[in-house]
């Protein structure tokens, strides 16, 4: 093709047909420009298709992470219910007149309330998008804004939960001074590592000074339940956001396919 155009130019020049040559040259330039524009258009189309593919891959990944968050939060909610029951039972038992007869129930509830839960969450895909500077690949402004809003709150929930758990630990430690914590821990170990301290000891229940200890125990238990409820509330708010965002992304992916 190039040789063909070159022969035409040479023929026009040798025949001194400069005006025709000039028209031909302009036409050739126009053809080249058109060719470049077509090539750019094809390249832009290919890049757009690639970006759309990458956008859907990212959104599918975020949706998977959201499903993991939802599943984890639901497990936390189940655990929260068990712990709320245990806190409430302890307060009611210590306020009753026959708490001595409920030692096994107290032991079980003390063990339950000593277990802390931490929301870990999955933000791998979002962090990958953010660090690579590809958030702009998400074409829907509402989805992009909702994703960023969710993960800002995600980080806030992790921080708040850490604060609440630190307060729960302080209350637990204040109560722990009144009973033999070792006797509660050792039975959990396998025989090889069990120090054989015997069953959990609740001798403090029968101590003469228990009437003075009881209000402190109850106050700390109620405080622990309060902090636990605060943690539950922020998890619930995050859960609702996760469900909403998950549905929004799901609808968008369906529309794009």
User: Is 141 among the domain residues?
Assistant: yes
Instruction: List pLDDT tens digits, range 129-161.
Output: 998 888 888 888 999 999 999 999 999 999 999
Stretch 72-76: mean pLDDT, rounded?
A: 97
User: Is 44 among the domain residues?
Assistant: no
Stretch 190-217: mean pLDDT, rounded?
A: 83
Q: Which residue has the tokens 């936390």?
A: 76
Specify the 3-state DSSP secondary structure of 157.
helix
- For residue 243, the domain's CATH number is 1.20.120
**In the numeric block, which tokens belong to residue 118?**
């931490």
Q: Model's pTM, two decimal places?
A: 0.79
User: Is 237 among the domain residues?
Assistant: yes
Q: Which domain holds residue 171?
A: 54-256
Q: Are 70 and 242 contacting, i.e. CB atoms less than 8 angstroms apart?
A: yes
User: Is 165 among the domain residues?
Assistant: yes
User: Is 41 among the domain residues?
Assistant: no
Q: Are 202 and 128 contacting, i.e. CB atoms less than 8 angstroms apart?
A: no
Q: What is the DSSP string of 118-182?
A: ------HHHHHHHHHT-GGG---HHHHHHHHHHHHHHHHHHHHHHHHHHHHHHHHHHHHTTS-HH
Q: For the chain, how are helix, strand and coil distributed in percent, rounded to 5?
A: 85, 0, 15
Distance CA 255, CA 135 (A): 20
User: Is 132 among the domain residues?
Assistant: yes
Total number of domains constituting the chain: 1
User: Is 194 among the domain residues?
Assistant: yes
User: Is 47 among the domain residues?
Assistant: no
Distance CA 115, CA 83 (A): 9
């Amino acid at each position: 093709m190039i040789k063909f155009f070159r022969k035409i130019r040479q023929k026009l020049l040798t025949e001194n047909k400069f005006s025709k040559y000039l028209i031909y040259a302009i036409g050739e330039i126009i053809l080249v420009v058109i060719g470049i524009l077509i090539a750019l258009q094809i390249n832009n189309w290919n890049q757009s298709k690639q970006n759309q593919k990458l956008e859907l891959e990212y959104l599918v990944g975020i949706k998977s992470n959201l499903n993991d968050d939802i599943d984890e939060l639901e497990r936390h909610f189940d655990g929260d219910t068990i712990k709320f029951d245990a806190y409430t039972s302890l307060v009611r038992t210590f306020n009753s007149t026959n708490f001595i007869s409920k030692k096994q129930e107290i032991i079980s509830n003390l063990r339950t309330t000593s277990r802390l839960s931490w929301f870990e969450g999955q933000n791998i895909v979002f962090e990958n998008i953010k660090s690579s500077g590809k958030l702009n690949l998400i074409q829907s402004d509402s989805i992009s804004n909702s994703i960023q809003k969710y993960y800002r709150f995600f980080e806030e929930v992790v921080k708040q939960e850490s604060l609440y758990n630190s307060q729960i630990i302080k209350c637990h430690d204040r109560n722990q001074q009144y009973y033999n914590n070792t006797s509660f821990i050792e039975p959990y170990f396998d025989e090889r590592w069990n120090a054989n301290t015997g069953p959990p000891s609740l001798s403090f229940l029968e101590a003469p000074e228990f009437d003075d200890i009881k209000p402190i125990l109850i106050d700390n238990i109620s405080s622990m339940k309060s902090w636990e409820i605060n943690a539950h509330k922020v998890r619930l708010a995050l859960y609702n956001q996760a469900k909403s965002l998950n549905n929004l992304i799901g609808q968008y992916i369906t529309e794009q396919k």
